[in-house]
Amino acid sequence: MKQICAYVCLLLLAASGASSAARAQDRSQGRSMVTTRYGIVSAESPLAAQAGAQTLARGGNAIDAAIAANAVMGVVEPMMDGIGGDLFVIVYDAKSGKLYGLNASGWAPQGLTPEFLKSKGVTKMPSFGIDSVTVPGAVDGWSKLLSRFGKLDFQQDLEPAIRYAREGFPVPEWDAAYWASAASFLAKDPETARLYLVDGHAPAVGEIFHNEDLARSLEQLASGGRDAFYKGEIAQKIVEFSKSQGGAMTAEDLADYSSEWVEPLSTQYHGWTVYELPPNGQGIAALEMLNLMQQFPLAQYGHNSTDALHVMIEAKKLAYADLRKYIGDPKFSKIPVAGLLSDDYARDRAKLIDMSKANCDVAPGMPPAGDTTYLTAVDEQGNMVSLIQSNFEEFGSRLVAGGTGFALQDRGALFNLEDGSPDVLAGHKRPLHTIIPAFMSKGDVRIAFGIMGGFNQAQAHAQFVSNIVDFGMNIQAAMEAPRFTKATFGGCDVDVEDRIPPDVRAALAARGHLVRADGDFSARMGGGQVTERNFATGVNFGGSDPRKDGEAIPEPPPHP
């Protein structure tokens, strides 16, 4: 009898286990979170994430890991980022429990003014070419991060990137597609074509790509630090190239540049504190969106329901109208930051959201006075880095200073020539920036996250936060969940992923939204990475967006 009971009990246990396993797989997310007590690096390339994880294993901390991963990203995804671009970072220091923001966005050359452009017959800010080039801030940003928080040095942190640049790497799927779409304009400049095209064509999936010039530039940084970039041979090559192209960059523009430590902005969203960096970035728009969304019961509406999406789309329009009106370089114009983030302002602006119809002509409010890569790292001690870095558009200005191995960014394209605008071009002014790292916390939980994609970013941040807070998703599910994006500032057009049900899309259209359905995991929605730390348990979590080639990779445990 005992044997029969034992057999039946085993069957019941097995059935229970099978049922539990079935329930565990009955979910919408495609992959699980990475979970470990050691560190995690999440990046858009597994090679970059692995380099960061190995840096942790060699004794580096999250800051070293982030720099190592970022440097590799500049090698393996040169169309999106690299040492010719800018950088923004939020660092959580576990020892002090404090957040630190770093704005490493570059300024316009002193001589790049509206008058300079008009003397050349230019009446609109160029999107590409030498007059779109601003001083690259990334290397100075790395230097400041290392000197304040790092455990290793440039030589150690840049070693994986130097190796990949010299030995080559097989091009992955997404990057091969980006490269192929850029081939026609890459061919227009001889040096750019020589560097980025192989026998006149973009490298295909799995084709090995080498960049000896970039390896040499990185070796100069490894031995000479930030001055090798801003005062050494690299700077000389950039200045000589700019002069040959009729540009305004001088040696002083590079030598005098310095990134800045800044205080992150924050807002409260249903008990969570959400952090973004202050202007000249667009992060304040994400916080304003959350303040507007908080005026509505999104959790009751249901995830990606018609009402929830309508509120978020309308909140995006209101927040971005303010972004366009008020945000620029705070050294050149007074920005009503406190007013834009005030509760009273959110309540007033939220009254403009009509639940029955879309607003196709949203104006900025009157607040009271007062292509890109993202990666994140967390280490065993709980230090966390939220880092975003970019050339702006694919391959930046589409220009390469001979022998440097990297494209110069085109961030200057975000200036304009309109008198009175917060973003009117001026020498040593920083443009409005699209790239924004983010952070959120509640109790013992800290989450570092970011989602790239131009002006998609602030609206994607707000959706990610809502997925976590309103709908109880874990970080991987929240990153994978279907998103919308509105690329324009005016009108009622909006893109949604076609995982959002057809009846919801039809209901949005009935309210006046001009809905376009994209693919299941559309590149229009940007790609993100995320890490989480539970300080009560000492456990780290990592997630990676399937909209990119990336991965969250854990630090290997120490050898016995």
Q: Catalytic residue positions? A: 372
Closest CA relative to residue 265, chosen from 144, 8, 440: 440
Class of residue 537 by CB neighbours under 10 A (exposed 0-12, middle 13-18, buried 19+)? exposed
The three-class DSSP label of residue 214 is helix
235 to 104, 215, 229, 409: CA distances (angstroms): 17, 16, 6, 15
- Give the separation between CA 228 and CA 445, rounded to whole angstroms: 40
CB-based contacts of 15, cutoff 8 Å, min separation 6? none
Q: What does residue 543 show for φ and ψ, rounded to 5 degrees?
A: -140, 155
- Give the separation between CA 559 and CA 120, rounded to whole angstroms: 62
Closest CA relative to residue 153, chosen from 143, 162, 161: 143
Q: Are 439 and 449 in contact (CB under 8 A)?
A: yes
- Give the separation between CA 486 and CA 314, rounded to whole angstroms: 10
Q: Are strands 493-497 and 514-518 parallel, antiparallel or unpaired?
A: parallel
- Give the separation between CA 401 and CA 379, rounded to whole angstroms: 37
Q: Are 71 and 95 in contact (CB under 8 A)?
A: no
Tell me how many helices (H) and strands (E) the chain has: 20, 19
261 to 77, 103, 150, 492: CA distances (angstroms): 27, 6, 16, 38
- Give the separation between CA 193 and CA 442, rounded to whole angstroms: 49
Closest CA relative to residue 438, chosen from 329, 291, 286: 286
- Give the separation between CA 560 and CA 207, rounded to whole angstroms: 38
Q: How far apart are the first and last CA of the chain?
A: 49
Which H helix or E strand runs over 516? Answer: strand 514-518
8: its two tokens: 């039946």
Q: Are 436 and 277 in contact (CB under 8 A)?
A: yes
The three-class DSSP label of residue 497 is strand
